[in-house]
Amino acid sequence: MGSSPKAVLILSGKRKCGKDYISDLLLSRLGADRCSILRLSGPLKKQYAQEHGLDFERLLDASDYKEKYRADMIRWGEEKRNKDAGFFCRLATRGEGSEREVWIISDARRVSDIDYFKTNYSKETVTLRVQADMKVRENRGFVFTPGVDDAESECGLDQGVDWDFVVTNNGDQQQLEADLTALLDRVQL
């Protein structure tokens, strides 16, 4: 698998801002026959499980099993990325769903993720930052967790990226729909 997409939509934003929610809206507008949501975090766990002889399914759920390996998995991921910044982006875009013509990357976390797509798919890439107020995020279940919410993986894109679109997702559905229409108008299909 793995192909030449016509558009790559990259989403980023703080926890519980609505990245998955908006990815699903975009997917239903574009149609699942030609669009897929690709997650960069999936291949990391899969590859880690493969290389360490672990149970991939158990690494995905919120179990003690996952907690046991979390720190080592983060360390291992950093090591891979330091050697090859595009390692996980490449895995994600060669797996299931990569044959479709629009990719929604729903969990960009680092400048190196954005750089990878801008370098390899410069014409196709459109970046989207999702914003929501802290109160709204808290109502959606966000609780600040030290070691997670102040780590690079959650803060790496807070500054320094020139986003193509910034969408506010505080619950105004009409505004959100209008913003997504503007985004999709920009996508050349």
Name the site residues for ligand ATP (rule: CB under 6 A). Answer: 13, 15-21, 140, 169, 171, 176
* Residue 71 · residue 81 · CB < 8 Å: no
* Residues contacting residue 172 through CB under 8 Å, at least 6 positions apart: none
Give the nearer residue to ligand ATP in terms of CB position, either 6 or 180: 180
Give the nearer residue to ligand ATP in terms of CB position, either 166 or 189: 166
> Tokens 């672990």 — which residue?
54
> Tokens 């999936």 — which residue?
42
* Residue 16 · residue 107 · CB < 8 Å: no
Minimal distance, residue 84 CB to ligand ATP, in Å:
25
Q: How far apart are CA 85 and CA 40, in angstroms?
A: 12
Minimal distance, residue 171 CB to ligand ATP, in Å:
6
Give the nearer residue to ligand ATP in terms of CB position, either 24 or 115: 24
**Token digits for 6?**
């016509």
Q: Cα torsion for 141, 62, 76, 116, to the nearest 10°?
A: -50
Residues in the chain: 189
Helix 64-83 with 41-52: angle, nearest 10 deg: 100
Minimal distance, residue 165 CB to ligand ATP, in Å:
16
Give the nearer residue to ligand ATP in terms of CB position, either 15 or 81: 15
Minimal distance, residue 2 CB to ligand ATP, in Å:
25
Minimal distance, residue 13 CB to ligand ATP, in Å:
6
Minimal distance, residue 144 CB to ligand ATP, in Å:
12
Give the nearer residue to ligand ATP in terms of CB position, either 13 or 156: 13
What is the bridge-based pairing of β-strands 102-105 and 165-168?
A: unpaired
Give the nearer residue to ligand ATP in terms of CB position, either 24 or 101: 24
